[in-house]
């Protein structure tokens, strides 16, 4: 019986060491998986931060484009207003030229009529 108990003890010891080895192996695999997951999670966090930075830059650029568009519209309106003012001034100049021509023609007519009266 002692021999049977010794064999059982040895067998139990063997199974215990095998189980401990498998548990330790699984713990090492779990630790490796955890480390891989943490590295991947860290990479995801880094990528998320980079995406947030890119989105912030995009928003800034979009705002700058919006401001530039507003400035461009103001510039176009200013140019259009200036063109209208130029057209108005050109019309006024033509009117003044027509008045001057009419005045000269009238003065010539008066001169001609005055010359006829003197004769």
- What would the pLDDT profile of 66-118 be if each residue is shown by its tens digit? 999 999 999 999 999 999 999 999 999 999 999 999 999 999 888 877 666 66
Residue 101 within any structural domain of the chain? no
Q: What is the mean pLDDT of residues 34-59?
A: 95
The residue segments making up the domain with residue 69 are 1-89
H-run or E-run covering 50: helix 2-118
Average pLDDT over the chain reads 91
Residue 106 within any structural domain of the chain? no
Residue 104 within any structural domain of the chain? no
Tell me the chain's radius of gyration from C-alpha atoms: 50
Residue 111 within any structural domain of the chain? no
Question: Which residue's entry shows tokens 């023609």?
Answer: 105
For the entire predicted model, the pTM comes to 0.50
């Amino acid at each position: 019986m002692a021999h049977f108990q010794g064999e059982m003890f040895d067998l139990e010891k063997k199974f215990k060491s095998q189980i401990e080895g498998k548990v330790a192996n699984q713990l090492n695999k779990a630790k490796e998986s955890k480390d891989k997951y943490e590295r991947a999670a860290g990479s995801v966090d880094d990528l998320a931060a980079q995406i947030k930075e890119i989105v912030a830059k995009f928003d800034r650029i979009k705002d700058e484009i919006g401001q530039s568009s507003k400035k461009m519209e103001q510039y176009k309106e200013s140019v259009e207003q200036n063109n209208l003012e130029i057209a108005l001034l050109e019309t006024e100049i033509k009117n003044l030229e027509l008045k001057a021509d009419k005045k000269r023609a009238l003065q010539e007519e008066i001169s001609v009529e005055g010359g006829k009266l003197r004769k």
